[in-house]
Amino acid sequence: MFAMARRALRKLDPALDLAPWLTTFEQLPQPWDAEQLFGRVAPLEVELGSGKGLFLASAAAARPEHNFLGLEVSAKYAHHIAARLAKAELAHARIVHGDGLRVFHDLLPEASVTAIHVYFPDPWWKARHKKRRVMNEVFVRDAQRTLIAGGSLHFWTDVEEYFHAGLQCISEATGLIGPHAEPEQAPEHDLDYRTHFERRTRLAELPVYRAVFHKPG
């Protein structure tokens, strides 16, 4: 198993007001109300496990016509992501500190999400811990339920065993169409990667396994 050291997070600027971008499950509108959260109605993309927030910030900057919701269980990473969104003034993006699976299962309504992104989730290597993986039967069924017709579920990992287990779970538990391959793209600059983990993996010349599924329309 190849291990790559993680860089320490930069210290947050105490002058930054993170409140407009950082929220918790309890602070989200219940029942779900996207207009209340974002101040507008727009197609919604959700990332489960946002890490350092590279995808969330990059995608929100590239697609200003969409709303973006990141879900991150780590408090320090959630605050780091909120600072990234604040600096970029991405008013149509939010990061939730909390259990992302709970957001999908208990809050997001049917046919409310345009795209779901799951990039490099924790593989939980030990056999007794694999039940903690986010690519499980409950989540993929929630993914199918919350996606709009024609919506997409993107799943990337650097762990081949997890990749095939995830694809099997999606195939057996849902009616999503796929897997379809997502080709690797050459980066145009140093941070032109889907996530920081993809960058580290590819710079180490290790494989990344990618797939996308679509909900029938």
Is there a domain that residue 72 lies in? yes
From the list 33, 122, 190, 192, the catalytic residue is 122
Q: What is the pLDDT of residue 124?
A: 79
- Residues of the chain with pLDDT below 70 are 1-8
Q: What is the pLDDT of residue 7?
A: 61
Decide: 113 and 152 in contact? Cβ < 8 Å.
no
Q: What is the pLDDT of residue 130?
A: 83
Q: What is the pLDDT of residue 212?
A: 98
Q: What is the pLDDT of residue 194?
A: 87
Q: What is the CATH number of the domain that holds 31?
A: 3.40.50.150
Is there a domain that residue 95 lies in? yes
Q: What is the pLDDT of residue 129?
A: 74
Is there a domain that residue 46 lies in? yes
Domain count, the chain: 1
Is there a domain that residue 208 lies in? yes
Pick from 116, 163, 167: nearest CA to 143? 116
**Residue numbers of the domain that contains 155:** 22-214
Residue 192 is a catalytic residue: no
Q: What is the pLDDT of residue 125?
A: 77
